[in-house]
């Protein structure tokens, strides 16, 4: 069973995402800020991280850059969750770059089938 980490300061959105993933057979841990997510990732070694970008104090971009400095975590796939893109921008841009690396992006609010498609694509290497 793949382990997925959700990092989102919006508890309602994080819980909705968690429920979708658990219902589809994934093991899920939720973190409400970037700093606690980094420590959680060190301990849990997730197979995939879903990272919100806009969080107070320590945003998703900072957390991603920090995760990329940790040798055992820098290859963990990350999907960026963001509400910063309009639907038309999202249709044109499906990746966001952080620290020179492009990440798959999912625009909030999102459809559960789109979330699951990106999760499956990101976890293909585990099969």
Is it the case that residue 70 has pLDDT exceeding 80? yes
- Return the pLDDT at 99: 64
Q: Fold for domain 3-112? A: Rossmann fold (3.40.50)
pTM of the model: 0.88
Residues 81-102 as b/e (b if ≥16 CB within 10 A, e otherwise) read bbeebeeeebeeeeebebeeee
Handedness of CA 53, 57, 61, 65 (dihedral sign): negative
Handedness of CA 64, 70, 74, 79 (dihedral sign): negative
- Return the pLDDT at 22: 98
The pLDDT tens digits of the residues spanning 7-37 come to: 999 999 999 999 999 999 999 999 999 999 9
Is it the case that residue 94 has pLDDT exceeding 80? no
List the chain domain ranges.
3-112
Give CA–CA dist 47/13, Å, rounded: 20
Q: What angle do CA 15, 73, 77 make, to 5 degrees?
A: 60
Q: Point out the least confidently predicted range of 11-15, 46-50, 56-60.
A: 56-60
């Amino acid at each position: 069973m793949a382990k997925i980490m959700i990092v989102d300061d919006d508890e309602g959105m994080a819980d909705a995402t968690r429920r979708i993933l658990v219902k589809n057979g994934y093991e899920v841990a939720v973190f409400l800020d970037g700093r606690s997510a980094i420590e959680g990732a060190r301990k849990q070694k997730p197979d995939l991280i879903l990272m919100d970008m806009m969080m107070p104090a320590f945003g998703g971009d900072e957390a991603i850059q920090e995760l990329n400095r940790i040798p055992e975590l820098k290859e963990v796939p990350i999907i960026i969750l963001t509400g910063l893109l309009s639907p038309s921008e999202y249709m044109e841009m499906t990746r966001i770059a952080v620290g020179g690396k492009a990440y798959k992006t999912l625009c909030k609010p999102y459809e559960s089938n789109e979330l699951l498609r990106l999760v499956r694509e990101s976890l293909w290497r585990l099969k």
